[in-house]
Structure 1
Amino acid sequence: MAGAYDRCVIRIREPHPWPSTEPEAEAIQEQLRSLVRTDTAPAEVRTAAGLDVDYREESDELVAAVTVLDVASLSVVDTAVVTGKAEFPYVPGLFAFREAPPLLRALEKLSAAPDVLVCDGQGLAHPRRFGLACHLGILTDIPSIGVGKTAMGRYEPPGEERGAWSPLRMDDDIVGRALRTQRGVKPVFVSVGHRYTLEAACDLVLRLAPRYRLPETTRTADHLARRQT
């Protein structure tokens, strides 16, 4: 199925040294966050990659899964899975240092090139404005967005209708949106990762979530990861 799409040649930016301590990790986030671009978005998005990491119970063993979807049909056109062990501790705000290395290895295994990365996590909605979606976007230079299940920041509940939204704020900054993808269900929390605008990110999430709360990119990647455990 991947043959009908652009061949995937993901070039990973020369990675920084992967840290072993919290101060080292925070310093990397502070260093890289100035590279994030939020003033542009792809002119056309044909394919979107969902990224998810599943952990085995009471273990550091993990499964990183990537699914690539045709945005028009929402059919899966490519997948990749990497198993391994987390090499960084569980620390709020530093999830990227647990999840980015296996996700990058999974992205390198793809055959169909994604036009955008849709991360199960945060982008700018992060204490240092550099969540997983920003980190992966910078290292791959692929447009990226974050779609979180829980809020990182404060917000007022958006209207009940599909497509309603309200600003997501941290400190004095608007870092994303609480977006209602379906009437009568909790919103998701959309933030820019890299090379995207917030408006375009929300439009894409609505396209990817025609029936359920979560976008199909997240749902398919989650299902793929769980099947491996």
Structure 2
Amino acid sequence: MTIIGIPAGWPADEDAARDVQRELRGRLVLGESGPPPGEGHVTGLDVAYDDERDLVAAAAVVLDARTLDVVEEATAVGRVSFPYVPGLLAFREIPTVLAALDSLSADPGLLVCDGYGLAHPRRFGLASHLGVLTGRPSIGVAKNPFTFTYGQPGDARGDFTPLLADGEEVGRALRTQAGVKPVYVSVGHRVSLDNACAHTLLLSPRYRVPETTRHADSLCRRALKEAQESLGSLGSV
């Protein structure tokens, strides 16, 4: 089993990581509408951690945007590359996520992250970070609210309210299923907020969470379990 190491020159402390965020933030593209919802490919990305072993497992699952059938999937296991610091979580997992993405042969299309993009204290969450590094359109669909102000959307599927930071709309609380608590959608890179929400609704025909996230969550957990079992067997030899 190959475990991905921490890249040379990777930020080692909070100040260095924030410097990288500021530099990459200047490369964000926010004026594009992005790929049409329901066309091409969409790729779900998620990670699972084993903090005791200092491991992170990443999964990338490509779906057909129209049928939601799985086209291809890939995983990678690496060392956690940064300590836990709110607002800098992307630095813990990006090298391993990029390794999973690089393993794909299919065009990933739109990247759908289990996290945030612009809805971030410095307007540069995981979805934005990955979008800039890969050059691909990306959105964040989070299961839990962050530190922003929002009202509860109406009960119908598709209802939404803005996520506000200092009066700026940085995302939306979006109801993907009637009567079920919302998800929290934000732009990552090269996608409009309207299209980000349209993609999220199409990816969530039956459940609160998009199919991209459901597939990637299950796959990264399996990959982590296999890595743990492999390391356990190596340790017992």
Identity of aligned residues (%): 54
> Matched residues in 2 for 1:43 and 1:117: separation?
11
CA RMSD, 1 decimal: 1.4
Structure 2 counterpart of 1:7: none
The code of the aligned residue for 2:23 comes to: Q
Change (3 A) 1:140 1:16: farther
The code of the aligned residue for 1:30 comes to: R
Structure 1 counterpart of 2:23: 31
TM-score with structure 1 setting the length? 0.90
> Matched residues in 1 for 2:162 and 2:47: separation?
27
Q: 1:158, 1:178 within 8 Å by CA — same for their partners in 2?
A: yes
Structure 2 counterpart of 1:227: 222
How far does residue 172 in structure 1 lie from its aligned partner after superposition?
2.5
Q: 2:35, 2:191 within 8 Å by CA — same for their partners in 1?
A: no
Can you give the 5+ residue segments of structure 1 that lack an aligned partner in the other structure?
A: 1-14
Runs (4+) of structure 1 moved beyond 6 Å?
none
Which of 183, 186, 203 matches 2:178? 183
Q: Deviations over 1:25-54 (max 9, x none)?
A: 011111111211222123443110000000
1:124 aligns with 2:118: yes
> Matched residues in 1 for 2:107 and 2:22: separation?
29
Q: 1:123, 1:192 within 8 Å by CA — same for their partners in 2?
A: yes
The code of the aligned residue for 1:151 comes to: P
Structure 1 counterpart of 2:127: 133
Structure 1 counterpart of 2:201: 206
Q: Deviations over 1:74-104 (max 9, x none)?
A: 1111011001220210111001101111001
> Matched residues in 2 for 1:93 and 1:130: separation?
9
Change (3 A) 1:203 1:111: same
How far does residue 199 in structure 1 lie from its aligned partner after superposition?
0.2
1:47 aligns with 2:32: no
Q: 1:41, 1:143 within 8 Å by CA — same for their partners in 2?
A: no
Can you give the 5+ residue segments of structure 2 that lack an aligned partner in the other structure?
A: 1-6, 226-237
1:145 aligns with 2:178: no
How far does residue 57 in structure 1 lie from its aligned partner after superposition?
5.8
> Matched residues in 1 for 2:70 and 2:113: separation?
16
1:160 aligns with 2:155: yes
Q: 2:81, 2:93 within 8 Å by CA — same for their partners in 1?
A: no
TM-score with structure 2 setting the length? 0.87
Matched residue of 1:35: which SS? Answer: coil
Change (3 A) 1:31 1:16: farther
> Matched residues in 2 for 1:16 and 1:57: separation?
21
